[in-house]
Structure 1
């Protein structure tokens, strides 16, 4: 019996397909030779030739596996292959694969890229991208590395593309000056390689990024009791990176997904109560530069919409909630969500307008138990910025100060910033509280954003996914630029830094923005708002959150 597979068009071959080469354990450097993709499996030492349309691969170095073990960077220029291994850079003819020493660095060489006679080498330990002359084998110049992690490289006519594993970011860098043009967040964590494919017919260039990590899974072990056990396996693949740069708006968008999100409350009180004339408000997803609300519909019972401080809110009304009464109510939203990364420098904000009185009254006050009048919080606000006066540098310094002072831990309730600073451990909500307090004391308007993150499993499409926790982050305001996002704690990688800036003025596709600067959910009875001190919402209902990733959004 035979069957035929549908043929792939050129656009499907290059730009809209995830490549998953069979047998590969950890892909590091990748490169294109016309329409053929080559990649290095750094654990096995396999130099692979991969068919992007079928995932089929073959080993190009069957007799030189040992020589290619631990290779991390890979580049091709004309008929020459370049690789980095440990502290050294090597080159060889593609036809022979006999490695010839090019140069050695004092520390590990990570990535390599070549354009004509110019060789670019990244070194995390040095913190630089080194630029060499191929003919003299001498260093010409060097640039500061744009990120803090291990970086891989690819170069085009004017641009050096830098892929940073820790930052989860690809930077567009002027290859002559080292200046960053813009950057984009990758849709998956742990990017380990980058390549550029040029369409021979149209001349269009497409970026591909390799990802390598370990993923947990449940293994069925017949010899164990119980027979299910948690273990880990290698996960590596290559995926196209889409981007759209908006220089006039200072940001770049990257890959995104069409997502269905549902939020519903199930009335299930711990103790039966009677509540007359009830209005239950739940914030709706926001419309932003990166998030588009395509459709919204009620779950269970209808709702009306109202706008609170520019944010849409669903209002569910009940004549009364009586003992024994049960309801399910909420909303289902269809969202297009992409990654966004802003590129604003301290120089850009040197001559910004003064903060408006309206913003000072609303976003510079203690309106959420921020303990801004306590000694420990006021001292922290002073210590965080020192003598800095530039708003963006102040914001960056405050973030780093909080990361130095706190470590992450989940708690059943949120304490005030004075208690959190004293304890030194905080949840995402407590990180936000400390950041809000320190920013507002330093005259930086800010507000909370959240409320959930879609499980970041872009490949698990059309399968219901449930987040383990809710999540909050914040936005800070720069006059003349607007509100800018900043994550609460994910960039706090410990070890006293340096801390990545992937979510400093950036969000990935799985961040869902709901109810900026307002309460996510409130309940009133006879016009009086109920608080956690009298009847907490969690004592009245159980919330149900579901995400379904429907498809990846097409290229821009």
Structure 2
């Protein structure tokens, strides 16, 4: 196990969000040893920011027009490097960082055919990222001549930095930081960022402390504006959101995954009994799955709500079991649980070459996860033809699963439906909810010999800055896991990465989950009720309505998470 890459013993920095004052859209990030430096691309400000106090100084007050639309800022020795449109520039920083009076004379370094997003400086090369070309270009620092190029690891706009003899890439669309070999561009590992729209990355080293990896985020956020002059004073509008936050991670090279920033979350799930006229249920057993124990998720504490329960294990998953002698007509009541859970972001770094093609799927997994056990329409012409077309002649399980995902993304668009239709209907319609995406993916993958199962249930609302406040998700959500012999179960989102018409699609949640994904009851029903005299056709929806609540309690630095930690209950 490696140590966390970015972890500071200084409690004032290790979780602190840096919020510069008077800025709009930061892009590019670098440091001079004492401060964080960034560019506000909207205002043209070259900024010096104190991460402890948020004190913000404009270093170029008389040259802001020259720095409009600048991206990819980096400082190497005494020289700033940055990009503007299709050009790469450099300028001396001496004097500027001292008394803020020396003018900045920009010198042209290189030209690319498409807009540049990121610039980084290594010992013997200048790295320049260009989303439209799809490459990171390598230049000779002395002559400006191209030396090499290698593919961008993601599909979005990418900013760069060089640290610890590695090239670090921050992809805005993928919401991912990649660690690359600077000589070849090979991905050593990657990690998901806790927030969306990362636009810069840098390593800051406080005095006598471990380096902190800072990532800057730039986006817009919706909010309710109070307009006292309007007939309806509450109006939905948007405002700029830009801030800097530490990225902490723990890389496990043996098991090919990386954990990044996590949160301690309190999750409550409660069923409220509904009135059932003229029906008395006898000897009732009500089962509700508990949060799963995984590499990225650990239960610290769990307790009942409304009614006591016992914990049983079902196919390796913990389940809360509630028992009633009777549930009578018009009887009210609550039953559920409250769990305190550590939830981290997780990203696997596997390539097709890491898969042993000689290993086959175990017979018990074939019997359970290659069959149509949930109205998957696997016997219909529509699904069988789609399964054949989606995978083609591919045999490697990773490439095959990715091809199937991309095929489904090409043919489905996301839309909420009043009910979940079978995969053949959803595929022919071309619009599906997350559950219908999952159904189509399960059917096509299983017909191609890939064991798959549904997982998920809910996502914590993505507001980690709202600590100790009740947060309620608007919808439930499901995704899936697929099995790779010799590796195990790997996660894959259902529809969330289907964001670009006809691709290329991000792979942030292909073999990855963010901290807000809640895993409940892997491979088992989430909730189930049985009684001695349960009428045929009486569904869970007839019996109860559910209430789901999250509270984010704290931010966590990722550590190795085992799958056998004990569960405290009472």
TM-score (norm 1): 0.96
> Could you tell me which of 542, 545, 550 is aligned with 2:545?
542
Residues 99-498 of structure 1 correspond to what in structure 2 (within 5 A)? 99-202=106-209, 204-269=210-275, 273-498=279-504
Shift of 1:270: 6.9
Q: Describe the shift of the 1:35–1:513 C-alpha distance in structure 2 as closer, same or farther (beyond 3 A).
A: same
| TM-superposition CA deviations, 1:281-312 (whole Å, max 9, x none) | 11100000000011110000101122221111
Q: Which runs of 4+ in 1 moved over 6 A?
A: none
Shift of 1:272: 5.9
> Could you tell me which of 500, 517, 520 is aligned with 1:514?
520
Counterpart Cα distance in 2 of 1:492 and 1:196:
32
Partner of 2:91, secondary structure, is strand
Tell me if structure 2 keeps the 8 A contact 1:162–1:170.
yes
Larger relative contact order (CA 8 Å, sep ≥ 6)? 2
Counterpart Cα distance in 2 of 1:10 and 1:473:
36
Counterpart Cα distance in 2 of 1:142 and 1:157:
21
CA RMSD in angstroms comes to 1.4
TM-score (norm 2): 0.93
Residue ranges of structure 2 left out of the alignment (5+ in a row): 1-7, 97-102, 560-570
Shift of 1:350: 4.0
| TM-superposition CA deviations, 1:380-400 (whole Å, max 9, x none) | 000001111111111000000
Counterpart Cα distance in 2 of 1:190 and 1:273:
53
Q: Describe the shift of the 1:306–1:70 C-alpha distance in structure 2 as closer, same or farther (beyond 3 A).
A: same
1:97 aligns with 2:96: no
Moved more, 235-244 or 263-272: 263-272
Q: Say how many residue pairs are matched.
A: 544
| TM-superposition CA deviations, 1:472-518 (whole Å, max 9, x none) | 01000011101000000000013100000000000000001001111
Counterpart Cα distance in 2 of 1:314 and 1:182:
37
Counterpart Cα distance in 1 of 2:75 and 2:109:
14
Counterpart Cα distance in 1 of 2:277 and 2:401:
45
Q: Describe the shift of the 1:378–1:10 C-alpha distance in structure 2 as closer, same or farther (beyond 3 A).
A: closer
Q: Describe the shift of the 1:555–1:399 C-alpha distance in structure 2 as closer, same or farther (beyond 3 A).
A: closer
Moved more, 12-21 or 212-221: 12-21
Tell me if structure 1 keeps the 8 A contact 2:72–2:83.
yes
Residue ranges of structure 1 left out of the alignment (5+ in a row): 1-8
Counterpart Cα distance in 1 of 2:431 and 2:464:
31
- Report the equivalent of 1:3: none
Shift of 1:313: 1.0
Counterpart Cα distance in 2 of 1:76 and 1:32:
7
